[in-house]
Amino acid sequence: MSNHISTVRQHLLDQMAALRSASGSEAIKQELDRAKGISELAQVAVNTAKVEVDYLIATEQTCTPFLEPEQPETPRLTTVVGEANGIASITRHRLQG
Contact 66, 5 (CB under 8 A): yes
Q: How far is CA 76 from CA 30, 31, 73, 79, in A?
A: 45, 42, 9, 10
pLDDT one-digit tens code per residue, 4-45: 778 878 888 888 888 888 888 888 888 888 888 888 888 888
| pLDDT for residue 80 is more than 60 | no
Contact 89, 28 (CB under 8 A): no
Q: Which residues, other chains included, contact 8 with Cβ-Cβ below 8 Å and sequence gap of 6+?
A: 42, 45, 46
Nearest to 24 by CA among 15, 32, 35: 32
77 pLDDT tier (thresholds 50, 70, 90): low
pLDDT single digits (tens) 41-61? 888 888 888 888 888 888 888
User: Band of the pLDDT at 67, cuts 50, 70, 90?
Assistant: low
